[in-house]
Structures are given as C-alpha cells and as structure tokens.
Amino acid sequence: MKWLITGAAGMVATDLNRALTERGEDVVALSKSDLDITSSRRVQQAIGDAQPEVVVNCAAWTRVDDAETNEASANAINGSAVELLATAVNRAGAKLIHLSTDFVFDGTKREPYEINDPTAPLSAYGRSKLLGEIASAHAERHVVLRSSWLFGHNGPNFVEAIRRQIAKGTNPLRVVDDQRGRPTYTPHLAEAIIRIAHSDANGILHYADEPECTWFDFARAIVEETGASVTVKPVTTAEFPRPAIRPAYSVLSTERYERVTGVRPASWREGLHEYLHS
Ligand SMILES: NC(=O)c1ccc[n+]([C@@H]2O[C@H](COP(=O)([O-])OP(=O)(O)OC[C@H]3O[C@@H](n4cnc5c(N)ncnc54)[C@H](OP(=O)(O)O)[C@@H]3O)[C@@H](O)[C@H]2O)c1
C-alpha cells in the first residue's frame, strides 16, 4: 500500500512513519517545510505526484491554549486545509485518514462517548478540529479517527511535564483529579491507524488505550514507573485555570474500532513502561 503522511515531524506522524517503514511499506512522509497543507496548489501537487492509496493527515495546530487567541489560524490548519486534502485525495482515488480529538465533546456525559454522540466543543481548538471532521467528509473514502491524551517520544506530553516537575524537586505534585479520559501511547495509535487503513471502515472511529483514568491516576502511574519518591496530591480543575476549557469527561468508546479490527486497544500502562524504559 502506498502512504502519504502530512505533518511528518509531529509526534503521531513520526511513530506512524517508523511503524510503516519497519513493515517495508511505501511511505512519502512530508513535514510542514515539505508541504504546508494550507496551500491548495502544494497539496494538489504533492498528492498528485505521490499518487498514494492512503493519506494520513497528522498535520495540525495542536497548541490548545494558544488557539483561544489564534482561532482563525487554528481553523485554517485544522479546518479549511482538510477540505483541500479531501479534494486532492478524491482526485487521486485515495482514502483520507484524518486525526481528531476527544475535545470535540463537552464532557457532560458520564459514560463513554460513542462515535455518533453530539459534538459540542468547549474550546477554540475543539471547534477547529470539528471543522476538520466536517471537511474530511468531502473525501469520498475517509475515516475520522478521534484519539485522546497522547504521549510519545516525539512531542511535548504529560509524562514529560511530570518528569520535569520531579527533576525540579517539586513535592508534592498537584494534579487534577476531576478530568477523566484515556491516555494513549502514540506507537499504539500508529498500529491502530495501520489496522484501520487495511479495513473497509469509513466514517468516524475512536481509538484510545485502556483503561480510563484521571490525570491524577496517570501522574501516580508515572511516579510509580520512574521510582521517584514524590507524593501526588489530587486537586480540582478550578485550582488550575487555563485559557482553554477542557472537557471534564472525555472517555472515548472504542467499541466500533474493536468491531472493525477485531482487536482490543492496548494498555497505556504498558505503553508508559515502554516509553520510560526503552
Ligand atoms: N496531542 C494530543 O494529546 C492529541 C489528542 C487527540 C488528538 N490529537 C490529534 O492528533 C493529531 C496529531 O497530533 P500530534 O500530537 O502528533 O501533533 P504535533 O506533534 O503537534 O504534530 C503536528 C504537526 O503538524 C505540523 N503542522 C502545523 N501546521 C502545519 C501546516 N500548515 N502544514 C503542514 N504541517 C503543519 C506541525 O509542525 P510545527 O510544529 O512546525 O507547527 C507538527 O509537526 C492532530 O490532529 C491532533 O489534533 C492530538
């Protein structure tokens, strides 16, 4: 299968590119300097030249808090550019796999979000990602793959934030205990993307590692895995105000992914162990 990956220098894209290359797949991996996805001409040219069977859009504006004051820029990359990709993908007869987020939900549910649950983003970033979901549907063959709470070797993430605090000698660590989600190790997400690309699935899918937890639970696991002698104290979101509002509950149901691929999601705890010890 021939693949084209956008945003190739990013966290998910780097692991996807590695997983595909290890399998001997034919991959064209284009970073922002190779292909700015907001340029219609360059998108048409890159996809037209490569003639991929699958385009995985990993390019995105991912600075959640900064999006609050830069919504137009976030919309251009996360929204309008996806329509350009969809048009080029249709011309090439390819399939578009577009990555999206749990932040399209408002977090008022108390049981896992299903693929067809109503979206109601609370932040500019979430709104921009929702625009991208709608735009990706312009591709005749497309998958919107939502994931959550990503950590991996090639980007800033929560595990590194906690390790930085430990290295600075912060004790106790104060971590929010009133937001629930599913942390996801990016090499696991890369495997999920490959499985989905090889399936007949169209439309929305959720992939996230198991099980659900709070940021406090996640921080405790990180401290345990690193062997640091630091106390982790639960605090509320209200004690840690940030520019963008996060959903209090954004547990994604992966039921459709499991049905389509026949595979259960991997464990974030195992991913964390690999991340810290490999
Ligand atoms: N991180 C999470 O916790 C999380 C959770 C759920 C879903 N997601 C989604 O997963 C996807 C991948 O996320 P990630 O964490 O791997 O993001 P990332 O590490 O920030 O990678 C995104 C890449 O896109 C590039 N980019 C930005 N603007 C571009 C443009 N106009 N044209 C081409 N490339 C551009 C960025 O380059 P620069 O850095 O140079 O701008 C960066 O290399 C995104 O769709 C994100 O919304 C992320």
Residue 75: pLDDT over 90: yes
Active site residue 125: yes
Give the per-residue pLDDT at 24.
96
Distance from the alpha carbon of residue 42 to the mean position of ligand 1, in angstroms: 18
Can you tell me the mean pLDDT for 56-70?
98
- In ligand 1, which atom is closest to the CA atom of 38? 31
Distance from the alpha carbon of residue 16 to the mean position of ligand 1, in angstroms: 13
Contact 64/103 with Cβ under 8 angstroms?
A: yes
The answer, yes or no, to whether any atom of ligand 1 lies below 6 A from the CB of 60, is yes
H helix count then E strand count, the chain: 11, 12
Contact 275/267 with Cβ under 8 angstroms?
A: no
Distance from the alpha carbon of residue 60 to the mean position of ligand 1, in angstroms: 4
Give the per-residue pLDDT at 21.
97
Predicted model pTM: 0.97
Give the per-residue pLDDT at 92.
97
Can you tell me the mean pLDDT for 236-257?
96
CA angle, 265 then 175 then 112, to 5°: 35
- In ligand 1, which atom is closest to the CA atom of 57? 45
The answer, yes or no, to whether any atom of ligand 1 lies below 6 A from the CB of 250, is no
The residue whose CA is least distant from atom 12 of ligand 1 is 58
Residues 146-171: tens digit of each pLDDT: 999 999 999 999 999 999 999 999 99
CB atoms under 10 Å from CB of 109, counted, come to 17
Q: What percent of the chain has pLDDT over 90?
A: 99
- DSSP states along 166-180: HHHT--SEEEE-S-E
The residue whose CA is least distant from atom 15 of ligand 1 is 11
The answer, yes or no, to whether any atom of ligand 1 lies below 6 A from the CB of 14, is no
Residue 278: pLDDT over 90: no
Residues 191-241: tens digit of each pLDDT: 999 999 999 999 999 999 999 999 999 999 999 999 999 999 999 999 988
